[in-house]
Structure 1
Amino acid sequence: MIPTVVWGTGNVGRAAIRAVQAHPALKLTSVVVRNPDKVGRDAGELGGLDGALGVTATDDIAAVLAAAPRAVVYAASGDLRPDDALADVLRAIRAGAVVVTPALYALYDQRSAPPELRDPVRAAIADGGGSLFVSGVDPGWANDVLPLLISGLGSTVDAIRCQEIFDYATYDQEDSVRYLVGMGQPMDYEPPMLAPGVPTMVWGGQLRLMARALGTELDEISETLDRCPLDKTVATTTMGEFQADTQGAVRFEVQGIVAGQPRIVIEHITRIHASCAPHWPTPPDNGAGAHRVIIEGRPRIEVTVEATDEGENRSAGGNATAVGRLVGAIDWLAEAEPGLYDALDVPLRPAVGRLAGPRRSTRRPR
């Protein structure tokens, strides 16, 4: 089995603990935390499992990496600490680990990443023999492998639209919701995540990756933004109240332009309460969220995916599927040559050995 570390125990890390524990080719050996209150607690508790796993959380990163783990799920956020996240990832790669993470946006499409980011990663791979695969937490599969797979079902493709439709009311990351995205802030507040150029920095790599897979080139990437205020004060279960007349919903697009038209689009429609911006697309049955892919062409194809996890934290399903994609890649990466990989390199495979009931074999297809 592949000794695997989960680094971080927030929204992504909790799901990662569960995914590693469930994977027949992986063995959870360490959990790294920053919060001193979590040090010494069992991984099963931190991951929301019913029983203890016998692995206690630690903040001793040097000791964890000195044990030469074969894989690291880097689940710490890179939103507000991109340089620190990169330094952590490089450290794990130099220790010889296969690293999977959603934290380094610019490496979604590693071929278009700036040299100042890509070159240190390649140097760490050469030094330590590790590997890196980055896929989005929003989740990545909804902006790369799923739309590309579905596009192959049509005769002609005029445009591809990837939508995330999301209710933040139960999302367990208040700083990101209130300050990074701006929910509950005055309408003249400028959320860092929505500043001009930032959406392209985050999601532009996925547009370029899809364009590369489709055999086309983007003329440019453009952005659109729309924000909507709350018409009444609303209360959430995890973050308290959001006042009327403050930002309650955001809709933006990152558009890949081909021949003057937006042909590949990643769109986010995000609310803090279902009552805000009801004229915008909504999840099926007023759920917490969904990911939708629309292929405009002949035939027109629309696929909507809903995922749920963690009970009342209705937004956790998207995180869990993003983690499933990353954790499910570890054994493939462990057998591959050391390198820097993207979503077109790493196959999406069946959940061999994870279906309930008798198992004939846990050998995984390549």
Structure 2
Amino acid sequence: MTGKRRYRVIQWATGNVGSRALRTVIEHPALDLVGLWVSSDDKRGKDAGDLAGLAPCGVIATGSIDDLVAMDADCVLYMRQGTDIDELCRLLASGKNVVTTRGDFHHPPSMDAAMRDRIEAACRTGNSSIYSTGSSPGFVTEALPIPLLSLSRRLDCLTIDEYGDVSSRNSPDLLFNIMGFGRAPSAFDPRQLEHVKSDFAGSLAQLADAAGIVIDSWDVVGEMGAATRDIVIAAGIIPAGTVAAQRITVSGMRNGKPVLRFRANWYCSREIDQPDWRLRESGWRVRVEGDTPVEVDIRFPVAPEDYAAFTPGLTAHRAVNAVAAVCDALPGIRTTADMPQVIAQL
């Protein structure tokens, strides 16, 4: 972290990632939790420490936006479901910097013009900044590729493969209703492709701008892998012939060829009718093809039964570690490419 002072932080929401961030802020040596916003009635009025599984800390959860906007704080860790632009503009205009795991601010030129104007006006009013980050998109699409490309003078293609084994995740609504596992391949919702494209194309576009890579267009392709037999996972059953794996590829194209590419390989089983996918355990593989080819392979040495406790930190911790850098940054919508490196103070 940059600077030597302490930072007063409001945690906004306590979902899967927000709860991990809340605990991390309470335990952090240079951060002071001063406020907590929650969406559910059963959490309001409770001590933040109790909600984080720690000793009481004296910060009481509230659903009052007015109270938190009026509060004296340096930064808000904004981790709610959905992005409320009115809410964010009020926070920024009140002088509070924002670090968010929402994917709306990775590439300001790609944003809706009216939304961008409102956010930038709020930042000018409050002399504040906002930064989108996380593990993916964020770390693996920006923070890691930037130093890898520093070894190159010619790039032919950068490919980021993400492997996510979700078989141990006991979240039936997420897996079956939102992600589309267990459905007939023909019934897959194409809106999911656009959602993945919007998050990852924006992040990769930031990388392209920073490195001077010209992109003609951004494409997205979805492929489904059907289970070869009935598969039992933590969330239920994947019947044979239904979607057990999906591969969504977002590509930045130049002259008809991909030059920047993110490929999400998310699966409930490797027993699928797509053996050439060569699915492997969860993690990332980043491959740089060009005049200085390199490949980085990242795996998580964690037992599958411990994934639920481990994975929220991948996203939450980078956001928490970015608080000081964002508070010290120039006002406006900030990106990984224009800020100092995020360094954890452990």
Deviates more, 1:265-274 or 1:321-330: 321-330
Aligned alpha-carbon RMSD (Å): 2.6
Instruction: Classify 1:174/1:61 alpha carbon distance in 2 versus 1 (closer, same or farther; 3 Å).
Output: farther
Query: Which of 304, 308, 320 does residue 327 from structure 1 map onto?
Result: 320
Measured in 2, the distance between the counterparts of 1:333 and 1:280 equals: 39
Task: Please list, as runs of the form range in 1=range in 2, the aligned pairs for 1:159-178 lying within 5 A after superposition.
Answer: 159-171=157-169, 174-178=172-176
Kindly indicate whether residue 228 of structure 2 is the aligned counterpart of residue 228 of structure 1: no
Kindly indicate whether residue 246 of structure 2 is the aligned counterpart of residue 250 of structure 1: yes
What letter is aligned with 2:88?
Answer: V
Task: Please list, as runs of the form range in 1=range in 2, the aligned pairs for 1:1-366 lying within 5 A after superposition.
Answer: 1-47=6-52, 49=53, 51-78=55-82, 82=83, 85-103=84-102, 105-154=103-152, 156-171=154-169, 174-191=172-189, 193-195=191-193, 197-237=194-234, 239-276=235-272, 277=274, 279-283=276-280, 286=281, 289-307=282-300, 312-314=305-307, 317-352=310-345, 354=346
What letter is aligned with 2:177?
Answer: Y
Instruction: Classify 1:223/1:190 alpha carbon distance in 2 versus 1 (closer, same or farther; 3 Å).
Output: same
Instruction: Classify 1:60/1:305 alpha carbon distance in 2 versus 1 (closer, same or farther; 3 Å).
Output: same
What letter is aligned with 2:313?
Answer: A
Say which SS state the counterpart of residue 247 (structure 2) adopts: strand
Unaligned runs of 5+ in 2: 1-5
Q: CA deviation at 1:120?
A: 1.2
Deviations 1:64-95 (CA, angstroms, capped at 9, x unpaired) = 222132211011122xxx4xx33332232122
Measured in 2, the distance between the counterparts of 1:21 and 1:193 equals: 38
Measured in 2, the distance between the counterparts of 1:4 and 1:158 equals: 42
Instruction: Classify 1:299/1:122 alpha carbon distance in 2 versus 1 (closer, same or farther; 3 Å).
Output: closer
Deviations 1:179-237 (CA, angstroms, capped at 9, x unpaired) = 23211223222325434x44332211122111112212101111221111223333333
Instruction: Classify 1:194/1:17 alpha carbon distance in 2 versus 1 (closer, same or farther; 3 Å).
Output: same
Instruction: Classify 1:199/1:336 alpha carbon distance in 2 versus 1 (closer, same or farther; 3 Å).
Output: closer
Q: Relative contact order, CA 8 A, sep 6+: which one is greater?
A: 2
What letter is aligned with 1:62?
Answer: D
Instruction: Classify 1:311/1:235 alpha carbon distance in 2 versus 1 (closer, same or farther; 3 Å).
Output: closer
Measured in 2, the distance between the counterparts of 1:236 and 1:27 equals: 40
Deviates more, 1:272-281 or 1:260-269: 272-281
Number of aligned residue pairs: 340
What letter is aligned with 2:246?
Answer: V
Instruction: Classify 1:110/1:23 alpha carbon distance in 2 versus 1 (closer, same or farther; 3 Å).
Output: farther
Identity %: 26
CA contact (8 A) 1:6 1:72 kept: yes
Instruction: Classify 1:57/1:148 alpha carbon distance in 2 versus 1 (closer, same or farther; 3 Å).
Output: same
Instruction: Classify 1:311/1:263 alpha carbon distance in 2 versus 1 (closer, same or farther; 3 Å).
Output: closer
Instruction: Classify 1:123/1:254 alpha carbon distance in 2 versus 1 (closer, same or farther; 3 Å).
Output: same
What letter is aligned with 1:87?
Answer: D
Q: Which runs of 4+ in 1 moved over 6 A?
A: 308-311
Say which SS state the counterpart of residue 218 (structure 2) adopts: strand
Unaligned runs of 5+ in 1: 355-366
Deviations 1:102-144 (CA, angstroms, capped at 9, x unpaired) = 21x3421113322022111012223333321112452411001
Measured in 2, the distance between the counterparts of 1:296 and 1:335 equals: 35
Measured in 1, the distance between the counterparts of 2:51 and 2:238 equals: 29
Q: TM-score, normalised by structure 2?
A: 0.88
Instruction: Classify 1:39/1:278 alpha carbon distance in 2 versus 1 (closer, same or farther; 3 Å).
Output: farther
Measured in 2, the distance between the counterparts of 1:70 and 1:282 equals: 43
CA contact (8 A) 1:186 1:245 kept: yes
CA contact (8 A) 1:223 1:255 kept: yes
What letter is aligned with 1:209?
Answer: Q
Measured in 2, the distance between the counterparts of 1:230 and 1:148 equals: 37
Deviations 1:326-360 (CA, angstroms, capped at 9, x unpaired) = 222211222233221111122223323x1xxxxxx
Say which SS state the counterpart of residue 18 (structure 1) adopts: helix
Say which SS state the counterpart of residue 107 (structure 1) adopts: coil
Q: CA deviation at 1:37?
A: 2.3
